[in-house]
Structure 1
Amino acid sequence: MRSMEDPPHGSRARRLVQARRVGAYLTAVATAAGYDVRRRQGGRAQLAAVTGLSLTTISRTLDGKTLPLPSQLATWATVLNLDHRRMLVESGLIPEQRGPQGVRGEVAVGVLSPDEAMNAWGITDPIIRKTLSGSIAQAIQLQEELDAAGDFGVVALG
């Protein structure tokens, strides 16, 4: 999890907008699932207990101050009984994919999520999926940094 005060990877303003959007979305779905997530109402503590995330992490996420890690988003989706991809689309983290979906062995037109790519490749082991998903997320982040650097310099890796 990266605080909005930390030096961000990518545009600080964009990350702040994303964090607020994710926070608003998670607040709405948690409330719909029966958690009273208003401050001091107990719902945030209940979410911390069932997700295994700290109360601080839950609060900063719901308040739009922190953009959760992919593994934390997966935990939220599981606990709130949400489709992982739908949650990413509805919270604004990934665009809605339209058009034909590829069948196994074919390349789909458009952008695949890491989960869709792993499904297409037949990767089912949860440890391999988690490792690959983290690597993909890091690769995307590094590419965004390189793209943003353009002709202004090279991004330090490490």
Structure 2
Amino acid sequence: MEDSPHGSRATRQAQAQRIGAYLTAVATAAGYDVRRRQGGRAQLAAVTGLSLTTISRTLEGKTLPLPSQLTTWATVLNLDHGRMLVESGLIPEQRGPRPAGREVSSAALSPDEAMNAWGITDPIIRKTLSGSIVQAIKLQVEIDAARDGGLLYEG
């Protein structure tokens, strides 16, 4: 049997365990008691809109969350998306949008162009990051539209 294009089963399992440990730590720090039968998992399910099974399997490191689910976790737990990707082990610390000695183009990049420029090749990481970028762009458009329509007040 061949490994999937997303990496070996062992690699995916290790990633799931790192993400589970990270999300358990940050959820606990945010005040959710995510130990079994303590109510925190059910609270997270309620505020994220994810099923209790998904919450449990993610926290236990049994499954990799979908990119949209990572975005939801980050939003609910008030986490920086990029920091979450680094801290959970999905992307290495040294990679970033502005490597030393490189000029930054003033032209807008698509998420795929940005990930190519950053050297991000793993399909799961690309999907996760792309989902976060797309969500951030949508939120910015909404904020800009609200501000332009006079719905947001800056003080």
- TM-score category, normalised to shorter length: 0.5 to 0.7
Q: Which residue of 2 aligns with 1:110?
A: 118
| Residue 94 of structure 1, CA deviation | 1.4
Q: Which residue of 2 aligns with 1:147?
A: none
Question: Alignment length, in residue pairs?
Answer: 117
Alpha-carbon distance change, 117 to 48 in structure 1, aligned in 2, over 3 angstroms: closer
Contact 2:71–2:132 (CA under 8 A) maintained in structure 1: no
Task: Look up the equivalent residue of 1:73 and give its one-letter code.
Answer: L
| Residue 114 of structure 1, CA deviation | 3.2
| Rounded Cα–Cα distance in structure 2 between residues aligned with 1:37 and 1:43 | 5
Task: Look up the equivalent residue of 1:51 and give its one-letter code.
Answer: T
The two structures have a TM-score, normalised by structure 2, of 0.65
Q: Which residue of 2 aligns with 1:90?
A: 87
Tell me whether 1:72 sits opposite 2:69 in the alignment.
yes
The two structures have a TM-score, normalised by structure 1, of 0.64
Tell me whether 1:124 sits opposite 2:137 in the alignment.
yes
| Rounded Cα–Cα distance in structure 2 between residues aligned with 1:12 and 1:53 | 24
Alpha-carbon distance change, 116 to 41 in structure 1, aligned in 2, over 3 angstroms: closer
Alpha-carbon distance change, 116 to 12 in structure 1, aligned in 2, over 3 angstroms: closer
| Residue 106 of structure 1, CA deviation | 8.1
- Cα deviation code 1:30-58 (max 9, x no counterpart): 00000000000000000000000000000
Q: Percent identity?
A: 70
Alignment root-mean-square deviation, CA = 2.9
Which 5+ residue runs of structure 2 have no aligned equivalent? Answer: 121-128, 140-155
| Rounded Cα–Cα distance in structure 1 between residues aligned with 2:106 and 2:29 | 36
- Cα deviation code 1:5-40 (max 9, x no counterpart): xx8542000000000000000000000000000000
| Rounded Cα–Cα distance in structure 2 between residues aligned with 1:124 and 1:41 | 36
